[in-house]
Amino acid sequence: MKRATDVTLGVLTAVPIVTCAAVAGTMLLTGDPRILAIDLALPAGVAIVGVAVSVLPLSALLARRVRARATARLAESHAAAAQAAASQARADHRRFLARLDHELKNPLTAIRATAVAAQEGDESDAWRTVDVQATKLSTLVRDLRKLAELESRPLETETVVLEDLLNEAIEALVDQQPAARGRVTLSVTRVPWAVPPLPLDLDLISLAVDNVLSNAAKYSARGPIEVRLREHEGWALIEVADAGRGIPAAELPIVFDELARAQNARDVSGSGIGLSLVTTVMRLHGGDVSIRSAEGAGSLVTLRLPLHRIR
C-alpha cells in the first residue's frame, strides 16, 4: 500500500512538469509568436506553470518520506530500548538468585545438621520433620541456582541424535521410577521427513527432556506415557503426553512461572522450578515449549527446536 502511494505521488510529480516541458518545447520549435499579457513568453509561462503544479505532489512525497524515516528511527530506538531493558531485567534476576543462594545455603546446611544430630535418641517426629523441610528448601535453592546459571551459561554444542537422547532419557526414568516401566513408549516419524541430527547442548537438552518426562511420570500414576519425535515445518517436535491428573484451566497460564505449582499437585514433591528450567533451555536453543492440558484427562507438553539454528 505504501509503495503504491509513493508511486502515485511520483507520477503526479513528474507528469505536469514533463507535459508542460513538452508543450513548451513544441511551441518553441513551431515558432509560436504569442506573448502573455504579463510580458512573459508563453513557452516560459507554460514551463513555470508545470513546475508550480509539480511542487505540491513533490512536497507531499518528500514530507512522506521524511515521516517514514523518522518513524523507522523511532521504532528502532524503541526496539533497542526494549531489548536493553529485557537484558537488564534478566541480569538483575540472575544476581538476585545468586544472592538468594548465597544467603540461604549456610543456614540451611546448619539446620539440617542440627536436625540430624537431634534425631539421635529422640523418638518423636519433630526433628525428622525439620530435616525434611530443610531438605526441600535446599533443593529449591539448588534449582534456583541452576536456573540462574543457565541464563548466563554459553552453549556447548555437539551433534545430537534426538532419537538416541529420548531412548536414554526413557531408560533413566524407568531406572529411577520402576513403576513407569511398561508405560512409556517412543514413536518416531521418519516419513516423509526424519528429524536430522542437530547441534545442541547435550546436557541442557537432556535436562529439559528429563524434567518433562519426570513430570509425566509423577502426575500420572497409571496409564500410558507417549513420547513422540517428528519434524514439522522446519522444527523438530518432541511431544510428551500422559493420561494423568492434568492441570486446571485457570492455572495453565502460569505453569511456566518460577515456583508455580498447580493446586492439584501440592501432594507431589517438587520445587516448581522444572518447567522454568525447560523454558530457559529451549529459549537458549532458539526454540520454545508449550503445554495443553485438561484436568482429569492428562497433559501434552511440546518442545520445539529449529532445524536451522537461529543463534
- Indicate whether 188 belongs to any domain: yes
User: Do 227 and 290 belong to one domain?
Assistant: yes
Q: How far apart are CA 184 and CA 182, in angstroms?
A: 6
pTM, whole model, 2 decimals? Answer: 0.59
Q: Give the pLDDT of residue 98.
A: 64
- What the block records as the C-alpha cell of 100 is 538468594
Task: Check whether 253 has a pLDDT greater than 80.
Answer: yes
| Residue after which a domain boundary falls, among 152, 185, 201 | 152
CA atoms within 13 A on the CB side of 222: 0
> Looking at residue 89, what is its pLDDT?
66
Please give the full DSSP string across 80-113, using - where no structure is assigned.
HHHHHHHHHHHHHHHHHHHHHHHHHHHHHHHHHH
Say if 311 falls within a structural domain: no
Q: Do 18 and 99 fall into the same domain?
A: no
Domain count, the chain: 3
At residue 232, the pLDDT reads 93
Query: Is 36 or 263 the better-scoring residue by pLDDT?
Result: 263
Range of the domain at 142: 92-152
Q: What is the pLDDT of residue 311?
A: 39
pLDDT tens sequence across 257-289? 766 666 655 556 555 677 888 998 999 999 999
Angle at alpha carbon of residue 274, lines to 263 and 309, rounded to 5°: 135
Cα–Cα distances (Å) from 267 to 138, 176, 255, 270, 279, in that order, read 19, 19, 16, 9, 24
Q: Are residue 67 and residue 147 in the same domain, yes or no? A: no
Vertex 195: Cα angle to 217 and 158 (nearest 5) = 85
Kindly provide the residue ranges of all beta strands, DSSP E only, lying in the chain, ordered along the sequence.
157-160, 184-188, 198-201, 225-232, 235-242, 288-294, 298-306
Residue 87 included in any domain:
no
**Is residue 219 within 8 Å of residue 268, measured between CB atoms?**
yes
Alpha-carbon span 26 to 23, nearest angstrom: 5
Question: Is 40 a domain residue?
Answer: yes
